[in-house]
Amino acid sequence: MSDPESLRCSSVRNRGGVQRVEGKLRASVERGDYYEAHQMYRTLFFRYMSQTKHAEARELMYHGALLFFSHNQQNSAADLSMLVLEVLEKSDAKVEDEILEHLAKLFSLMDQNSPERAAFVSRALKWSTGGSSKLGHPKLHQLLALTLWKEQNYSESRYHFLHSSDGEGCAQMLVEYSASRGYRNEVDLFVAQAVLQFLCLKNKSSASVVFSTYTEKHPSIQKGPPFVQPLLNFIWFLLLAVDGGKLTVFTVLCEQYQPSLKRDPMYNEYLDRIGQLFFGVPPKQSPSYGGLLGNLLNSLMGSGEDDDGAEEAQEDSSPIELD
């Protein structure tokens, strides 16, 4: 028997073995023998891991977690979900959409207030970096954002949308967020903050999409531009200025709209960072701090990197808290 054929036959046998084991475990769970089934899952996990059968271990733990979730056995399900992550962390599994979707599925089924859920998402995002996106894979952030949106956890959903590439989804969530939780005179604040933060993360395309989608779909915003709300006009002009890259335009724009920008004390901090990223403005040196503390604050604000490292720097540390 040739080597490829031998490997294929071995894979078929392994899958058949996993299916037989899953059948026995499922029967145990259906009988209500949750503790016994949970311990058996853990025993099999360590056995598979010792044999470097990583794919089999991950598949068994994933389906076992789903089974426990379906029987409202949150603790056992969360434990097996953590073992799914352990396989990924200890194996050479590549970041693929199917795996990210599995992780998001497990996250969606966890108790919203459980400490295991917070630990799970932290480890999942860390694993998903794959050496490229230091804040977590954009696809996983998008899937998490969609789950949190369904749960009406708008604040957390917004955070994950910011680190995804889904500007349209973010805008639609913000429309709902504004309509259900905000005041009528705050409709412009919701989108302004999101656009400024997307720009601070050097994501121009999502910033533009979130603005255009939000202003088109929000029922309390009259068709523009120009808009009734001065802050929306500022954001519209800012996006045009970012494309042009002219410092004089950016400077005049910020000066002319100061009354609107004073509505949130964070706006000028965002704009300082945007000035550095898109208009070549040098980082501000705070006179209040010097020495080691000043250097620390500069590093937290993302300043002090050269242009070539700007893209990497904005991923490594946000210039402001994007909560």
Residue 230 located in a structural domain: yes
pLDDT of 20 reads 81
Residue 213 located in a structural domain: yes
> Which pLDDT band, with edges at 50, 70 and 90, does 286 fall under?
low
pLDDT of 291 reads 46
Centroid of chain to Cα 208? 19
Residue 169 located in a structural domain: yes
Measured distance CA(15)–CA(56) in Å, rounded: 8
Measured distance CA(155)–CA(138) in Å, rounded: 17
Q: What confidence tens digit (pLDDT) does each residue in 229-275 have?
A: 999 999 999 999 999 999 999 999 999 999 999 999 999 999 999 99
For residue 225, say if its preceding peptide bond is cis, omega within 30 degrees of 0.
yes
Residue 210 located in a structural domain: yes
Residue 147 located in a structural domain: no
Question: For 165, which DSSP code?
Answer: S
Asked if residue 132 has pLDDT above 60, the reply is no
Asked if residue 289 has pLDDT above 90, the reply is no
Residue 209 located in a structural domain: yes
Q: What separation in angstroms does the CA of 138 have from each of 89, 126, 142, 308?
A: 19, 12, 6, 22
Q: What confidence tens digit (pLDDT) does each residue in 17-60 have?
A: 667 888 889 999 999 999 999 999 999 999 999 999 999 999 99
| Token pair of 123 as six digits | 């480890």
Residue 131 located in a structural domain: no
30 Cβ partners below 8 Å, 6+ apart?
A: none
Residue by residue, DSSP assigns 229-297 as: SHHHHHHHHHHHHHHHT-HHHHHHHHHHTHHHHTTSTTHHHHHHHHHHHHH-PPPP--TT--HHHHHHH
Nearest to 322 by CA among 169, 181, 145, 147: 145
Residue 224 sits in a domain whose CATH number is 1.25.40.10
Mean of the per-residue pLDDT values of the chain: 86
Across the range 143-148, mean pLDDT stands at 98
Residue 4 located in a structural domain: no
Q: Which domain holds residue 183?
A: 161-285
Across the range 107-119, mean pLDDT stands at 96
Asked if residue 308 has pLDDT above 70, the reply is no
Number of structural domains (the chain) is: 1
Q: What confidence tens digit (pLDDT) does each residue in 162-195 have?
A: 999 999 999 999 999 999 999 999 999 999 999 9
Does the model's pTM come out above 0.75?
A: yes
pLDDT of 75 reads 97
pLDDT of 130 reads 75
